[in-house]
Amino acid sequence: MQRKGFSFFNFKLPQVPPDDRGKSLTQLIKEESQRWKEHMKKKKEDGSSALPAKYFYRGLMLFQFPSQMYVVLYYIIPYFFVDEWTRYYFGVLCWFLGINGIANWLCVMLYDPSFPVSRDKPSIPVQKTWDNPPDRFNPLIQESVQQNGCAVYDMSGKDGLLWQYCNKCQIHIPPRAHHCKFCKRCILKRDHHCVKVGNCIGFNNQRYFIMLTFYAMIVGCLGGFLTFMYLKDVYWVKEAKSWTDLIPPVAIFRTIFGNTNLHNCFLVIHVYIEPLFGLFGMFYFTTQMSLVMEGKTMYEVTKKRPVISSNTINRNIKSVFGDFWALNFFFPMTIIFKQRDDGIHWKGLKYDHNANKKLEGDIV
């Protein structure tokens, strides 16, 4: 076949496919939007819709950590603190917060929260059904039948938490483990899938996730406040010419053309990102800590699973953070202090048999 070189005169407009000939423009737009909707629905179902968020937040962290350390150490600390010792100790504190934040972030991403497929599974009864369950449990049983092909919410056992079968992974999974459509595997004690870190939060990495949100809260709130004060006192007075200079693309444009310094550009971008980190951190840290203290997971709360824990608050916290749990606030340390549970057996936890009656206001 003879190859034709590109010629301007050979250029043709795209042809209308034969099927679409004779259709009106509104009809074509309608069909195209329908195709787009189906495409997006499929992406949501197979979990690939979460991918862009994962890479966006990873890029954001890789930008934020070095740039924030740079402006804090070289501009913000020298501006706010005159005393040499105060500068030194504040610098140490900033390194401590930054390194802890990054270390916990890496741990959340790198620890595998899934239930290993290759592990020898005990033979357990998974196909029992519960005779005459209270109404409240009917949706749970139906959902289980639809998802797993069998009803496993058998309350006749002592603790009421039984193994299930995952149709997608084709393995038996322990109580509180659930399949994640984004990770495409079963997650031990699944809490939720975090699109920002791009991993599921479960038994193996929840402690790091909570610490990450703790550091994000402190770094975001403290950093946001100091950045705002610096911009107000220095940038606004000396360099900015109008309010538009506080818009990140304008600041980047001015930096490229030499109108302002690189650190000012970083600070203008940070003043938007840091409060966002602070608010996200605060929201997740408070909700996660209250769930951990109650001994529940976000999955169970959002799906209205009536799980109740008879363990003490201290025991519930140790289940997630291990012994000497307060030390987690200083460094991530699975190797030294292991968690109390194994992610498979749940002592002191059961389904609430009276959940149905409590809903109706009866005291049982």
Q: Which residues bind Zn ion (CB under 5 A)?
A: 166, 168-169, 179-180, 182-183, 186, 193, 200
Selection from 144, 167, 191 nearest residue 343 by Cα: 191
Cβ of residue 187: shortest distance to Zn ion, in angstroms? Answer: 6
Selection from 68, 87, 24 nearest residue 269 by Cα: 68
Selection from 232, 40, 47 nearest residue 240 by Cα: 232
Question: Which residue, 77 or 173, has its beta carbon nearer to Zn ion?
Answer: 173
Question: Which residue, 212 or 219, has its beta carbon nearer to Zn ion?
Answer: 212
- Rounded to whole angstroms, how far apart are CA atoms 205 and 197? 11
Cβ of residue 109: shortest distance to Zn ion, in angstroms? Answer: 12
**Residue 308 pairs with which residues in a beta bridge?**
350
Cβ of residue 48: shortest distance to Zn ion, in angstroms? Answer: 12
Cα distance between the two ends of the chain: 85
Options 194, 200, 221, 265, the catalytic residue: 194
Question: Which residue, 179 or 270, has its beta carbon nearer to Zn ion?
Answer: 179
Cβ of residue 47: shortest distance to Zn ion, in angstroms? Answer: 8
> In 126-200, which ranges are continuous DSSP H helix?
138-148
**Residue 165 pairs with which residues in a beta bridge?**
172
Query: Is 194 noted as a catalytic residue in this protein?
Result: yes
- Rounded to whole angstroms, how far apart are CA atoms 252 and 256? 6
Cβ of residue 302: shortest distance to Zn ion, in angstroms? Answer: 14
Q: How far, in Å, are 71, 220, 323, 334, 362 from residue 230 at the CA level?
A: 10, 15, 41, 38, 58
Question: Which residue, 197 or 267, has its beta carbon nearer to Zn ion?
Answer: 197
Residues 6+ apart with CB under 8 A from 103: 331, 332
Residues 6+ apart with CB under 8 A from 281: 212, 213, 214, 215, 216, 217, 218, 219, 220, 221
Place of tokens 């940070």: 270
Question: Which residue, 166 or 217, has its beta carbon nearer to Zn ion?
Answer: 166
- Rounded to whole angstroms, how far apart are CA atoms 9 and 358? 79
Cβ of residue 183: shortest distance to Zn ion, in angstroms? Answer: 3
Nearest 5 degrees, angle CA 289-CA 295-CA 296? Answer: 85
Question: Which residue, 117 or 247, has its beta carbon nearer to Zn ion?
Answer: 117
For the annotated catalytic residues, the residue numbers are 194
